Amino acid sequence: MNLNAECIFDGGAILGEGPVWDERTGSLDWIDIERGKICRFNPVTGVNQEWVIAEQVGFAVNTDEGNVLAGTRRGLIRFSRTTGKTTPWIDPEAELPDNRFNDGKCDLQGRLWAGTMCLDESKIEGSLYRIDPDGTVDRQLNPVQISNGLAWSADSQRMYYIDSPTRRIDVFDFDPEHGRITNRRTLAVIEESGFPDGMTIDAEGHLWVALWEGWGVVCLNSKTGEQLAKIDVPVSRVTSCCFGGSNLTDLYITTASRDLTEADRQKQPNAGGLFVARPGIEGTASIRFRKG
């Protein structure tokens, strides 16, 4: 089954990423990594607010306290949309100045899982960390090349993970009490239709995986890896997705325009825009970082 996505905001991001639905405000939070922008899009009014933090930002998640926890080139920071101020928090890779945080997401217990990557994307020098509310940092995987998509099963017994250049969607056994992962195995391999990037999971347990250079988002059975559907996006570099809207039935999709040629841009005028699709299924809520 193939579905189509429509552009709802032609933002022209260089590297749009990290969509997060904020149910408190009815808005979609997202980022432009290369421009250091944290954004908030209102799908009702079409208004997009932007805050520039002056450095690459790989992800931004909301917290119980109402502020933002973001991963940057200089570690984890706290950011207030009210004041526009940033406060450094933790930098687990201060000795690696050429690394930056990439994708990050909270598990159902409110702990942050966040991965890093080298600015030279050919190097395998990143890691995946678990960050607890009290600030404890525990490295869970190393080495990682381009740490990306994360998702958890509804019963918190499985964690899904993507290291993009491997082309794999992997699954771990997950210990929700202690936040530990074991028994890594491959669920699916994206052979020729792009590289798996950001990911979310719906209420029925299906995975929705954005495809960099794949022109869309694929839906996979989270137990067998079988492809069930694809959402076509008129942009080659599709980066991530999340469910939102009042009933969590809207799938919001971020894209990128990075490194496109002029000919590519002519063919992809909405590259770097925000898209939405309605696949007829209920999604899962974005989880906030739990207050420590």
List active site positions: 197
118, 136 Cβ separation under 8 angstroms: no
Mode of pairing for the β-strands spanning 48-52 and 86-90: unpaired
**Two tokens, residue 123:** 């190097």
What b/e string do you get for 140-172 counting C-beta neighbours within 10 Å, with b at 16 or more?
Answer: bbeebbbbbbbbbbeeeebbbbbbbbbbbbbbb
**Two tokens, residue 90:** 């933790």
Burial (CB count <10 Å: 0-12, 13-18, 19+), residue 78: middle
197, 239 Cβ separation under 8 angstroms: yes
Burial (CB count <10 Å: 0-12, 13-18, 19+), residue 258: middle
Q: How far is CA 113 from the centre of its chain?
A: 11
Strand partners, 210: 217
**Calpha distance 255→166 (Å, rounded):** 20
Q: Say which residues have a Cβ less than 8 Å from residue 284's Cβ, sequence separation at least 6.
A: 154, 200, 201, 202, 203, 243, 248
**Two tokens, residue 237:** 């570099």
What one-letter code names the amino acid at 200?
A: T
| Closest to 210 (Cα-Cα) out of 270, 248, 255, 168 | 255
**Calpha distance 292→238 (Å, rounded):** 34
